[in-house]
Amino acid sequence: MKDFINARVLAFLISDDGSFTGNGILLHTNSFTEKEVNFLIQCLNENLGLNSSIRKTKNQIFIYIKAESLNKVKQLVKPYMHPFFYYKIGLNNKANLSIIKIKLLFLSNLKIFNISLLFF
């Protein structure tokens, strides 16, 4: 299993369950056991040369990829990641702005505007 954790797998993990914190990246591994999360951390650190660690809240376990690994993550995953998800690695994404503009235009044509509708 350890040999299967590579840059492409990391790109999928971030695209699906990742979030940029402003400093690093959180992988929301809520459905994993602590043992599985620790194994993934070990694989990320050893296979990809990242600096990641475990983060816990009361009921949730996350993988935190530290800020010092952010540039390396960007280099590793960008070739495998759709540009729509670049915001998850801290890159500006004009596609997101375009989607918001389209939603606003659609809502204004319906003469309905509610900020909560932006996120349908």
Tell me: do 81 and 102 sit in the same domain: no
Q: Tell me which residue range forms the domain holding 95.
A: 91-120
Tell me: do 61 and 100 sit in the same domain: no
Instruction: Work out the average pLDDT over 4-14.
Output: 95
Tell me: do 7 and 52 sit in the same domain: yes
Tell me: do 84 and 104 sit in the same domain: no
Tell me: do 66 and 101 sit in the same domain: no
Q: What is the pLDDT of residues 33-46, one digit of tens each?
A: 999 999 999 999 99
Q: Quick check: 107 pLDDT over 90?
A: no
Q: What angle do CA 2, 12, 82 make, to 5 degrees?
A: 145
**pTM metric for this prediction:** 0.75
- Number of domains, the chain: 2
Q: Output the pLDDT for position 63.
A: 97
Tell me: do 59 and 75 sit in the same domain: yes
Q: Output the pLDDT for position 59.
A: 84
Contact indicator for 51, 68 with CB cutoff of 8 Å: yes
Instruction: Give the CATH number of the domain where residue 25 resides.
Output: 3.10.28.10
Tell me: do 66 and 27 sit in the same domain: yes
Tell me: do 30 and 75 sit in the same domain: yes
Q: Quick check: 120 pLDDT over 50?
A: no
Q: Output the pLDDT for position 16.
A: 92
Sign of CA dihedral 7, 14, 71, 1: negative
Tell me: do 6 and 57 sit in the same domain: yes
User: Rounded to whole angstroms, how far apart are CA atoms 107 and 118?
Assistant: 9
At 22, the pLDDT band (50, 70, 90 cuts) reads confident
Instruction: Work out the average pLDDT over 10-17.
Output: 94
Tell me: do 49 and 99 sit in the same domain: no
Tell me: do 97 and 46 sit in the same domain: no
Contact indicator for 77, 37 with CB cutoff of 8 Å: no
